Structure 1
């Protein structure tokens, strides 16, 4: 058992993709589905988090 049920199963190409180096990179769609920012400086963060300044853009 891999700990994922059908409701939260990751779909390659939709929720993530693999880089040529083998890293799993989460897509903007995945982040929006998760519903919050993890503050890790993700490549496709839809929340605008800046890891270098630890801030979000002003609205």
Structure 2
């Protein structure tokens, strides 16, 4: 699946009671056959009151 900007969607982010998302870390699941290497940059989009917000992780 591609976003409107042409970037692929590689997985989903989720927060649990034992591992909440924070400004320091977020957990995500990858789609089958997707490989993320050390030091790859992952971008996550979230819904915010002002529209959308993006978080980047390594």
- Bucket of the pairwise TM-score, normalised by the shorter protein: under 0.3
Which of the two has greater strand per residue?
2
State the structure with more CA Rg. Answer: 1
Q: TM-score when scaled to structure 2?
A: 0.26
**TM-score, normalised on structure 1?**
0.26
Structure with the bigger percentage of helix: 1
